[in-house]
């Protein structure tokens, strides 16, 4: 059974299935967390909470160290006090910085290029040390670019002002944005734009279930890349949204942004060897289709009117 702690700063309580207990509060509130652990007999923690926007972290590094690193320190302290010995952490490919080799393996050097990446790497280090000292086992899942939405349309990315590429592209395809901005077209890549390894959110969910089964099976702590091992450029991703939507939309080209990584593709051999996990949605058009369907539903529910964008 699942119990959720969330301060709802970016989340939505309506997306929780019926009957799942929700405690509205901060993951860094040790009294709250200890109480929930005791009350519900919590044995495992999956820590999804955090701030995730790279450019924001460049402007507000201390905010990111507070919310991503200090909050997790408090959460881990509460976990240790409550005797929780299994911990799954949402980390990021941003810990690698600009990798020396692509696809990037988990043993690659960690050289974050942003406070966001640094704040997550600090948490990984803390988790390793806490586990060594207190007999905790953990799985660190280094997310690559999470995208798409629940194929059944039950939930998806609904945060206003989200900065994820596919989210912005489907907003443009539904007429909610006048254009989409591309930052950097002069990278030494085939089309000059950055390359990313997109993973469907539903496959990522299943990776967490598999990681929990791995820990329950008595396996030792590990760090795993979560991606498909296939890169798509920013411009290829925009074209995929145009194809599945049948709509055209304006694209604006600007300079590179500080902290952005040129190419980030996962070496996925370790996750496939360690976990019972087989991706179901490893296809950019499928990811874009699900993201678009969710965005159209969200737009209707918020009272939006269909937009008649020109055909692609």
Give the tens place of pLDDT for each residue, 110-147.
999 999 999 999 999 999 999 999 999 999 999 999 99
Question: What is the mean predicted confidence (pLDDT) over 10-16?
Answer: 92
Of the listed ranges 9-13, 42-46, 77-81, the least confidently predicted one is: 9-13
pLDDT at residue 89 greater than cutoff 60: yes
The pLDDT, as a whole number, for residue 257 is 86
What does residue 302 show for φ and ψ, rounded to 5 degrees?
-90, 10
The pLDDT, as a whole number, for residue 310 is 40
Q: How confident is the model at residue 7 (pLDDT cuts 50, 70, 90)?
A: very high
Catalytic residues: 116
pLDDT at residue 304 greater than cutoff 70: no
Supply the pTM of this predicted model: 0.93
Neighbours of 112 (CB within 10 A): 21
pLDDT at residue 194 greater than cutoff 70: yes
**Three-class secondary structure of residue 222 per DSSP:** strand
Instruction: Quote the radius of gyration of the chain (alpha carbons, Å).
Output: 20
pLDDT at residue 290 greater than cutoff 50: yes
* Cβ contact 84:37 at 8 Å: yes
Q: Which of 43, 44, 40 is nearest to 22 (CA)?
A: 40
The pLDDT, as a whole number, for residue 160 is 80
pLDDT at residue 309 greater than cutoff 50: no
Mean model confidence pLDDT for the chain: 94
* Cβ contact 165:145 at 8 Å: yes
């Amino acid at each position: 059974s699942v119990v959720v702690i969330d301060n709802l700063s970016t989340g939505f309580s309506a997306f929780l299935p019926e009957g799942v207990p929700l405690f509205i509060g901060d993951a860094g509130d040790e009294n709250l967390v200890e109480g929930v652990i005791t009350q519900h007999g919590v044995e495992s923690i999956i820590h999804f909470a955090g701030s995730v926007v790279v450019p924001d972290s460049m402007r507000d590094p201390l905010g990111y160290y507070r919310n991503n690193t200090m909050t997790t320190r408090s959460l881990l302290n509460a976990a240790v006090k409550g005797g929780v010995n299994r911990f799954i952490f949402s980390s990021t490919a941003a810990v690698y910085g600009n990798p020396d080799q692509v696809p990037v393996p988990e043993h690659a050097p960690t050289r974050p290029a942003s406070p966001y990446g640094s704040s997550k790497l600090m948490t990984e280090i803390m988790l390793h040390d806490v586990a060594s000292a207190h007999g905790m086992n953990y799985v660190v899942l280094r997310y690559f670019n999470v995208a798409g939405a629940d194929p059944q349309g039950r939930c998806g990315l609904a945060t206003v002002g989200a900065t994820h590429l596919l989210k912005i592209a489907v907003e443009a395809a539904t007429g909610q944005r006048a254009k989409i901005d591309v930052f950097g077209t002069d990278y030494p890549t085939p089309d000059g734009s950055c390359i990313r390894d997109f993973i469907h959110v539903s496959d990522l969910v299943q990776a967490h279930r598999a990681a929990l089964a791995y820990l329950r099976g008595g396996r030792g702590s590990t760090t795993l890349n979560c991606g498909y091992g296939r890169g798509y450029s920013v411009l290829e991703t925009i074209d995929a949204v145009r194809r599945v939507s049948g709509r055209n939309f304006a694209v604006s080209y600007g300079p590179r942004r500080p902290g952005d990584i040129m190419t980030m593709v996962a070496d996925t051999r370790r996750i496939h060897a360690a976990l019972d996990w087989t991706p179901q949605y490893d296809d950019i058009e499928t990811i874009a289709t699900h993201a678009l369907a969710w965005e159209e539903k969200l737009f209707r529910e918020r009272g939006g009117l269909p937009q008649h964008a020109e055909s692609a």
